[in-house]
Each structure stands twice: as C-alpha cells, then as structure tokens.
Amino acid sequence: MRQSKLMIAVVMLVAAATLITACGQDSQSDPREVVISLFGAMERDDKAALAHLLDLAELMRNIDQDYAFHSDDTPRVFTSPQQILEDLTDNGLTKKRWFSLQRIISDTNVDGSTATVEVTFVDKGASKGYKTKFGLHIVNGKWKIYSFRAITSEG
C-alpha cells in the first residue's frame, strides 16, 4: 500500500514537471507564436509578458510611423518603455484600436535571425484593411518583436 502511494506521488511529480516544462517553454521559439502571444498578453493587460515579447528599446526608435492606425497624421513618439506597455494595455490607444478590428495572422517569413509575420487588421464597418508585417529578431535566443510596420491600407 505504501509503495503504491509512493508510485502515485512519483507519477504526479513527473506529470507536474512535464506540465511546468511545457508551459515554461514559452512560445518565443516561433515568430508566429510570439505574435499570437502578444495579442493574448494585450488582452490580459499583462505588461510583464509584453516586456518579454517586445524589444522595447527598438520600438522606441520608431518615430516615423504610428502603428495604432489613428487618424492623426503625426506619429506618436514614445520616450519610455513604460509608455509603450501602457499603450498596448488597459485603455491604451493602440490596444483600443487593434482590438476594435478583426486580426488575421498569416504568413511568416524567417531569414536567419530575423523574421516577419503578416498581420492584417480589418475594419469591417469601413470595409478597410490594414496590412502589416511585424518585424521580429532574435535577442538572447528568443524571438522578440521590434517593429509593427504598417505596409498598406486596403479598402
């Protein structure tokens, strides 16, 4: 009887370790999964997860284009990583705008240590789409998003 309880405990520990390992192998080994994880973290307002998925320093260098698709012609410039995280969570403009649109994640193109993942945002009411390519690169062995570059506006 004691031996079977010990065996059950060992099996449960192995199962728990396997589950932890599976969860611990974050999805940062596949660029497309990183983009999917980004939207999940945004939905949960999980700034810590976003900080692991984004190359915040590189995103702050984006001063030419506003990725929120808002109507103002002047792109917003972020002066701290915290501003980017706030913009992508809670009531941030980018989160509100992106989550008001249908998001379609499609083609992934990997070229060595860089990759692009095509994301199309569809505004069904206006019959308009915004085709983007999120840029990713490897930082410390993990894919991180460094660009939300808009490519075209269709519609």
Is the pLDDT at 52 greater than 70? The verdict is yes
pLDDT tens digits, residue range 64-118?
776 766 566 677 888 899 999 999 999 999 999 999 999 999 999 999 999 999 9
What's the domain range around 77?
28-154
Percentage of residues of the chain with pLDDT beyond 90: 60
Least confident among 22-26, 73-77, 104-108, 128-132: 22-26
What is the domain-level CATH number for residue 47?
Answer: 3.10.450.50
According to DSSP H, which parts of the chain are helical?
A: 2-24, 31-44, 47-53, 56-60, 81-87, 93-99
In the chain, how many domains are there? 1
CA distances, 44 to each of 30, 39, 50, 147 (Å)? 21, 9, 10, 21
Residue that wins the pLDDT comparison between 63 and 42? 42
- Is 16 inside any structural domain? no
